[in-house]
A = this chain, B = another copy of it.
Amino acid sequence: MTLILALDFGGTKLAAATVNTGSQQWLGYERRLSPTNANADTDLEIMRSLINSLLKGAQPEAIGVSFGGPVDATTGKVRLSHHILGWENVPLRELLEEEFGVPASVDNDANVAALGEYRFGAGQGYDSLFYVTVSTGVGGGWILNGKPWRGAEGMAGEIGHMVVDPSGPVCLCGKRGCVERLASGPYMAQDVKEVLRNVSAACPEDIPPSLLLNERKDYQGHQHNRGEVLRKLVEDNLELITGRVVSEAAAAGDSLAKEILYRASWALGVGIGNVANLMNPQRFVLGGGVTKAGEDFWEVLRRVARETALPEVNFEIVPAALGDDAPLWGAVALAEDVLR
């Protein structure tokens, strides 16, 4: 029996867990939100306290780490975090190996979550799979021939910035109609707010053309409650609208929310269909908050992906099984691989 320590530096939260190799149940599990104004030092300090309260002096045999940002997986050096200051070029693997005197392995969260779902979750038995997380961002991680494919410089998996609608709205990356621009929670919320701010109830048709799709007609039946449910859910305080609120409003029949969510599932469907044509993996595993948006979301996503892929290209699209723990379980797999 070998003790594994798994760490997840998540951008907004930190988590640590211990497990014995071969077991699928945590021995211990600790989790804390990053404070506002967090930096690399405070993150490391909090993580140390989580680890101490988990290990209570015990010694793990190996450490696996998921990091929410670009990592050089061969050296275990963090390149940077887009969320937390001070992570530029931090040799995280080296730090941990020196501090604990055991081997460690570090990779970015999308790759690690893909590995977690492959080894312990919805990807078990599928040697070629693409894991996609749809949450505050849209990212992905590859398993090919049963191993992570990270790309020549560790940048593979960026389905979030695949362009699916060149006349779509502008993304932070500078392009138009990226998958992430159309399907991530914050962008869905932003688009809904923009419509609600600009459109008086008397003029429900006046929404920016960039928000429209040919296929939106499906959802234009209920103009009478366009945005009404959304407003009610946040008691008219539009600032409170999030991706989750959009999903809830769509489920309750709000036609504006349905339209935005439809566009998100359409964008993901086109992206996944394109990826199927390009790489022909057996399975797509989808996680992240936005994928909990309900049956309509999955139905559109699956239909559009099927229509986008060539008829001869087979694949399945399934929900992730490990939820928020996918990176931690992937970290376990990283640590196990270090010991092999």
Contact = CB atoms under 8 A, between A and B. Distances in A.
Interface stretch (A220-228, A242-250, A304-312, A318-326): A304-312
Given A162-B278, A163-B270, A275-B278, A314 B175 contact: no
A262 to B, nearest CB: 14
A70 interface: yes
A22 interface: no
Contact of A152 (B157, B165, B280): B280
Contacts of A174: 307
A161 interface: yes
A190 interface: no
Contact of A308 (B150, B157, B163): B163
A124 interface: no
A158 B312 CA distance: 11
B214 A167 contact: yes
Given A161-B310, A310-B161, A278 B128 contact: no
Nearest to A279: B156
Total copies of this chain within the assembly:
2
B270 A156 contact: no
Interface in A151-186: 151-159, 161-167, 173-175
A162 B274 contact: yes
B278 A310 contact: no
B151 A280 contact: yes
Given A70-B312, A173-B310, A314-B153, A159 B279 contact: no
A277 B142 CA distance: 12
A313 interface: yes
Interface residues on A, range: 35 or more
Task: Report which residue of A270, A280, A307, A312 has the largest number of chain B beta carbons within 10 angstroms of its beta carbon.
Answer: A280
A281 B274 CA distance: 17
A43 to B, nearest CB: 22
A149 interface: yes
Given A128-B152, A163-B274, A312-B155, A279 B280 contact: no
Given A157-B278, A162-B277, A163-B273, 18 more contacts: A127-B152, A128-B151, A140-B278, A144-B144, A149-B279, A151-B280, A152-B315, A153-B280, A154-B280, A156-B279, A156-B280, A158-B310, A159-B278, A162-B278, A163-B270, A163-B308, A166-B214, A278-B279
15 contacts: A140-B278, A151-B279, A152-B314, A153-B313, A155-B312, A158-B313, A161-B277, A162-B274, A162-B277, A163-B164, A167-B214, A173-B310, A175-B307, A275-B278, A278-B279
